[in-house]
Amino acid sequence: MTGKASASSELSDVRPGEVVVDLPSEADAHIYFIGRIATPWTRRADCPRKGDPDNGPPCRVAIDPRWADALAGLEGTERVQVLYWMDRARRDLVLQSPAHDGTTRGTFALRSPNRPNPIASSIVRLIAIEGTTLVVRGLDCLDGTPVVDVKPEHCVGAEPQ
Amino acid sequence: MTGKASASSELSDVRPGEVVVDLPSEADAHIYFIGRIATPWTRRADCPRKGDPDNGPPCRVAIDPRWADALAGLEGTERVQVLYWMDRARRDLVLQSPAHDGTTRGTFALRSPNRPNPIASSIVRLIAIEGTTLVVRGLDCLDGTPVVDVKPEHCVGAEPQ
């Protein structure tokens, strides 16, 4: 697969003021989807602006049985970092206009789904582990979103405030 | 490239108690490296256990000129999330023994570089932007590590404590 091929199926319109670049002709590395996320949201317009780890609805992160052993020891972890793949994003936008008003900002100055590598990072609260499925609060993504990684999240205190 | 091909060049030994699985035969998505990170550390043994955004040495995140416009508006952002690709990791470990003592934990219960998709996430302090290079504190990776994404980091307060 190439970037152009994968992007062409789901391209959103380029808004006034937005700028696109040619994607590289070659990929540098590849991703295995390790599972899928089930959420209540089937249209991007329905997704919350930001997930709420305290009061958001429970979502289910279903991990492929191939990786079942990799969940050993995660039980009891309160906060988990979930990396997922925003597979409906376009990858060639360098200047974007989130407000639809023609004023633009750079892609790396935004957390927009549209970026060269459309990987999202969310810190969620782990409620339960049922088999190879994590039940969590704090996601804001579309139902069916592919999972890229799951990591324990520890030291917010170590981050700059 | 395939997972086995890319992993075979840099495989670390499997320790007592560690378990590997067959990688999927097909990739699901692909990554473009958007730049490279320059750090003082050329051997994994030299890397700090965790980056220090306050007192760590300045490191340079050099973004490919193709993406120069995507940095517009990042200046003035204090905290930045950097996603990078741990290209010396092995991707097939599901149970790991970080303490080298035969006791193992699942890959998703660890922040080890060895994981199906070896993507690291670091919150760093942005010191300066020089052309298309970000000067930051808080990284702990090897010199030459490929960059996958750069995002502004805002609301630690919104994360569960």
CA distance A149 to A134: 12
- Are the beta carbons of B109 and A1 separated by less than 8 Å? no
Among A50, A106, A117, beta carbon nearest to B71:
A106
CA distance B20 to B15: 11
CA distance B129 to B80: 12
Q: Which tokens sit at B107? A: 């890959």
- Are the beta carbons of A106 and B72 separated by less than 8 Å? yes
- Are the beta carbons of A66 and B21 separated by less than 8 Å? yes
Residue that is written with structure tokens 């289910």 in the block: A60
- CA dihedral defined by A67, A111, A38, A12, rounded to 10 degrees? -110
Average pLDDT over residues A126-133: 98
Instruction: Return the pLDDT at B155.
Output: 59
The mean of the pLDDT values for chain A is 90
User: How many CA atoms does the CB half-sphere of B112 hold within 13 Å?
Assistant: 23
Task: For residue B119, list chain A residues with Cβ-Cβ distance below 8 A.
Answer: 83, 119, 148-149
Q: Which of B19, B20, B21, B23 is nearest to B3 (CA)?
A: B23
Within 122-161 of B, beta carbons closer than 8 Å to A belong to: 123, 125, 138, 146, 148-152, 155-156, 158-161
- pLDDT tens column, B62-115: 999 999 999 999 999 999 999 999 999 999 999 999 877 878 999 999 999 999
Picking from A34, A90, A107, A110 by the largest number of B CB atoms within 10 A of its own CB, the best residue to mutate is A107
CA distance A139 to A131: 20
Average pLDDT over residues A115-125: 98
For the cut 80, the answer to whether the pLDDT of residue B8 exceeds it is no
In chain B, the domains with their CATH numbers are: 2-23+31-152 (2.40.30.70)
Average pLDDT over residues A112-126: 97
CA distance B45 to B40: 12
Average pLDDT over residues A137-158: 88
Q: Which of A124, A94, A76 is nearest to B105 (CA)?
A: A76
Confidence grade of residue B12 (pLDDT, cut at 50, 70, 90)? confident
pTM of the model: 0.90
Collect all residues with Cβ–Cβ distance below 8 Å to B126 and sequence separation of at least 6: B74, B77, B78, B79, B80, B134, B135, B136
Q: Is B71 helix (H, G, I), strand (E, B) or coil?
A: helix
B29 has a chain A CB within 8 A of its CB: yes
Q: Which tokens sit at B69? A: 């416009």
Question: What one-character DSSP code corresponds to residue A8?
Answer: H
Q: How far is A5 from chain B (nearest CA, A)?
A: 11
Q: Rounded to 5, what percent of chain B is helix, strand, coil? A: 15, 30, 55
Residue that is written with structure tokens 């965790």 in the block: B50
Say what the ipTM of the complex is: 0.90
